[in-house]
Amino acid sequence: MLALSFLPLLLLATAGLAASSPGRRATPSAVPASVLAQLLPANQQQLVAPTDAPTFVALVTGFHNFTCTRMGTWASDGFAGQLFDISSLFPGSEFSQIQNDAYFSQSASTDPFDPTFAKQVEDKYGIPLSGQHYFASSGVTGLASPVFDFRNNGPTAGNPDAIVVADVTGHIPSPTGTSDLDWQVMTGTSGKFASTIFRVSTKGGVLNLVEACEPNTPGLQAKFTAQLFFYGSKL
């Protein structure tokens, strides 16, 4: 499992790289506004599709991490994975099915940033590795927040603003069942890559951990994939 203590080091390392390079902008998405609206279930108010088109659409592949608390219960310890630009796959069938295909294609590696798997995805679908997804603790609250970091890959490599730290502001159960992660809307709190992010079309990422655990027990992982729709880029 990827320890959260590693993440501030990743942030510092990428910040140093970004500061030494000129800012670059993301390539605009060709996915129309109607796509997310059609994906979201009716008769719910938690996730409401924006009326404008997304500025970026990504596949995320990685792991949901779990840790044993001091109370002897399992708890979520955030997510870690890789982000791929899937805009070029629209409107083909691969665009709507890639999260399922990638889920079953994931390697046996427990490294959420496995470069071999990233290369396999790039070669199979012709889509580029664009960034990393992880959780990092806030220096103010101490709570871990989702981070989407595009400062090291793709057209935004070297841009110090190509990152967004977010808070979850709404969620619904996955329409495909309890074995898949919930769908979420997140609001950006820092960074300029996006102001709003939707996590939809989830696959996996759930463990039914009902039994008690011993503190300091090694953590567990559940592999997952999903589609991410980003809106409101200020790059």
pTM of the model: 0.88
Handedness of CA 69, 74, 78, 82 (dihedral sign): positive
At 30, the pLDDT band (50, 70, 90 cuts) reads: confident
**CA torsion angle for 51, 53, 59, 60 (degrees, to 10)?**
-60
At 13, the pLDDT band (50, 70, 90 cuts) reads: very low
Output 25 or 45, whichever has higher pLDDT: 45
Q: What is the mean pLDDT of residues 39-51?
A: 96
What are the strands, taking DSSP E only, across the chain? 56-68, 74-85, 129-137, 144-149, 163-172, 183-190, 196-204, 220-231
Name residue 229's beta-bridge partners. 57, 198
Predicted pLDDT of residue 25: 56
Mention every residue, 6+ apart, whose C-beta is less than 8 A from residue 171.
46, 47, 182, 183, 184, 185
- Cα–Cα distance measured from residue 101 to residue 87, given in angstroms and rounded to the nearest whole number: 16
Burial degree of 184 (CB within 10 A; 0-12, 13-18, 19+): buried
- Cα–Cα distance measured from residue 182 to residue 202, given in angstroms and rounded to the nearest whole number: 7
CB distance 184 to 170 below 8 Å: yes
Q: What is the mean pLDDT of residues 85-96?
A: 93
Output 98 or 27, whichever has higher pLDDT: 98
Q: What is the mean pLDDT of residues 62-82?
A: 95
Joined together, the tokens standing for residue 193 give 């890559």
% the chain with pLDDT above 70: 86
Joined together, the tokens standing for residue 1 give 């499992």
Summarize pLDDT for 148-178 with one digit per residue, the tens: 999 999 999 999 999 999 999 999 999 999 9
Handedness of CA 89, 93, 96, 98 (dihedral sign): negative
Joined together, the tokens standing for residue 121 give 């995805």
